[in-house]
Structures are given as structure tokens and as C-alpha cells.
Amino acid sequence: MAETPAAAAVGAAGVAVAADRVGLGWRAELAPAILANLDRIDLVEVIAEDFDPRCRADVAGLRTLSAEVPVVLHGVSMGLATAAGAAPAPIERMARLVEKVRPAAWSEHLALVRAGGTEIGHLAAPPRTDATMAGTIANLERARRAVGASPLVENIATLIAPPASRIDEAAWIGEIAAGARVDLLLDLHNLYANAVNFGDDPFDLLARMPVEQVRMVHLSGGVIVTEPASGTRRLLDDHLHDPPAAVLALLEMLAQRAPHPLDLIIERAADRIRSTRARPRTATPDRRKRACPRFWSRRRQRRCIRAGKSAGADLHRSQAACSVSGCAGQERAARRYRNRRRCAPRAH
């Protein structure tokens, strides 16, 4: 079968990898630091749903970023892990974004996000049954055909044991990976949280995972929460805390067992970034100024000048960051502030 341009772009990046790489999840609050330290960052992961493939500013920002550092598009809305067919709209959206941006790779969760046409607003663990396994494999094949390349699939954390499951998490993921012929994005804190919440040994769980198919790793942290009625304690994966020592030990174990280089993405939620970083107040309470990409560009330029850097190339990056951080993009911002310019969608 002839290889599509998207597959060529994604595949070429995979072939070129010769060593472990370390990257960050893109957050608007981290944009200046990421752009100022690209020589120390191997790749950047961005949430695909934050970008509109019809929006010229979003696409241009992502293209500029991907010209500086390999970009991974990370999906959160497909809901591939279901016995029913996955919704076509999120798959088609990802296909358009991959075609226009040509990322190093793309990924999605093994999760249920809707049922009966209703969005649940959460990445939920589906029942681990033969029906959901067959449906997930079919959905992954449908996504591969639409996008032109297979996704890396990610394990998710859950506070509730999936009902009616006939096999455990490691076996379920292994059978899907083998049946769909896909590689894995292994979130080590998700794995650890599920082991803690349901009384498993996380190291035994990792040992039973198909580590030969793990190509990318997520590293994050969480917090213990208590259910008010029963007093049951669970580990919640929240991306707001440092990875615990056990997760770092799991990473070391994985590194020893994986037969090929790994890409490691450090995840940090924006709330944590805001709370740990002092930010000077602007002279005006007008939030529109602080949200305006043009205002951010000027601030960034002044920083570069004060630091004694050449503002030219750095400002070019900053303007790209404005579009990328606009993942919220100009289209949503325009609805919030009427005097903001609307990003005009373009027909395909």
C-alpha cells in the first residue's frame, strides 16, 4: 500500500531517532522558557484539541514550532476504547492537523469519552472485555487509515475498577497493541496509580506490559484523595505534583528492559505552573491586554533586549508562541472579547 505524506512525515521522525529524548508538554505559561531553551529540549508535546486545523494562526504557530523542535500531537477526545465506533469528527480533525503540521508522531488514549452520543468530559476506563477489545482495534485501524499513520496509544489512570472486566490492564493493553499493531505511550504515573488504587504491585504490572512496544513515556505526579462517604483513599493523577520515587524507579526499570530508545515527556498542569511562578502585575486590570498575542510579543521582545540577546530570531519564535499558546485560540478568545479579531476558518 502506498505511504501517505502524513505517514512519511511521522515515520521519518521515528527512523531518525538514535537515542533517548526528553521533552515537555506545551503550556502557554511555559512558552517563553521553552523557546529560550530549545537547545536543551528534544521534543514538545501539544494537545491536539487546543488547535483548530482551519485556523491559519494555529497552523502557522505549530508549523513554526515544529521547524524548531520535533512536535508530538496528543489527542484527548477520540474515545477509541469502546465497543461502538469512534466518533468521526475528532479523527478527521486530527487527520487535517497532521496533514498540515507534519508532526514527529501523534498519540491518543485508550479511553472511553462518550456514550450514546453524550460527552462525559473525562477519560474513563472501559470494561476490559472481548467486545471493547475488538471495537478498540477496529477504531485504531479506522484512525490509522484516516490520519495516514498509527497513533501511540496511552494507558489511563482510573479511580474505579472497570466493571465486567475479564482480564487485567496489562493483558488488555498487550492484546490491543498486538491486534492493532500499534506502539505504546506508557504513562508511568497512570500505571502506578492504578496499581496503588487496586492493590497491585506496580513493578509486576510493568513487567507484564509489552515493553518492546513502548516508544514514548509520560512522567507526572498525583495526590491522594479520600472518598467522603466511605473514607476510601485513592491516588489521583493530577499532573500538579512531582513524580514520586516509585515512579522514578519504574522509569529506571523500563529503561533497562526497553530494547530501543525512548521518548520521555514531562507533564505539568498549567495550574501548577501558575502557582509556583511569581508573575508581575500589569499596570492595567484589562485582561484583554494580558491575553493579546501582540502584547505578549512586545513583552517577549523587551525581555530579549534586556537579556542582551538578538531580538530578531527570538521575536520570531515569540510570535509563533503567541499563535501556539493561542491554542485557545483567537477563535475562542474572540467570543470572549468582542473587540478581538476572529480567526476566519478556511474551507478545505
Same domain, 83 and 145: yes
Same domain, 195 and 331: no
How many other C-beta atoms lie within 10 A of the C-beta of residue 246? 15
Q: How far apart are CA 239 and CA 221, in angstroms?
A: 5
Closest CA to 182 of 212, 218, 220, 217: 212
Does 278 reside within a domain? no
Q: Which residues contact 1 (CB under 8 A, 6 or more apart)?
A: none
Domain-located, residue 280? no
Task: Spell out the per-residue pLDDT of the chain, length 348, in tens.
Answer: 444 545 545 544 444 446 999 999 998 888 889 999 999 999 999 999 999 999 999 999 999 999 999 999 999 999 999 998 899 999 999 999 999 999 999 999 999 998 888 888 889 999 999 999 999 999 999 999 999 999 999 999 999 999 999 999 999 999 999 999 999 999 999 999 999 999 999 999 999 999 999 999 999 999 999 988 888 899 999 999 999 999 999 999 999 999 999 999 999 886 554 444 444 434 444 444 444 443 444 455 445 444 443 333 443 444 444 445 444 444 444 444 333 334 444 444
Whether 234 and 298 share a structural domain: no
**Is residue 12 in some structural domain?**
no
Q: Are residues 116 and 158 in the same domain?
A: yes
Does residue 108 sit within a domain? yes
Question: Distance between CA 84 and CA 29 in Å, rounded?
Answer: 38
Residue 24 lies in a domain: no
Give residue 247's domain range: 75-273
Q: In this structure, is residue 201 part of a structural domain?
A: yes
Let me know whether 158 and 124 are in one domain: yes
- Extract the runs of DSSP E, i.e. beta strands, from 51-94: 71-74
In a shared domain, residues 112 and 199: yes
Task: Confirm if 46 and 74 have CB atoms less than 8 A apart.
Answer: yes
The predicted pLDDT at position 330 comes to 42
pTM given for the model: 0.76
Q: Which of 273, 298, 315 is the last residue of a domain?
A: 273
Q: Are residues 174 and 307 in the same domain?
A: no
Cell of 152: 501511540
Task: Pinpoint the alpha helices (H) of 212-264.
Answer: 245-257
Buried b (16+ CB within 10 A) or exposed e, 288-297: eeebbbeebb
Residue 248 located in a structural domain: yes
- Point out the domain boundary residue: 273, 295, 321: 273
3-state secondary structure of 78: coil
Element containing residue 19 per DSSP (H, E): none
Indicate which CATH number applies to the domain containing 249.
3.20.20.150
Residue 233 lies in a domain: yes
Q: Which pLDDT does position 18 carry in this prediction?
A: 64
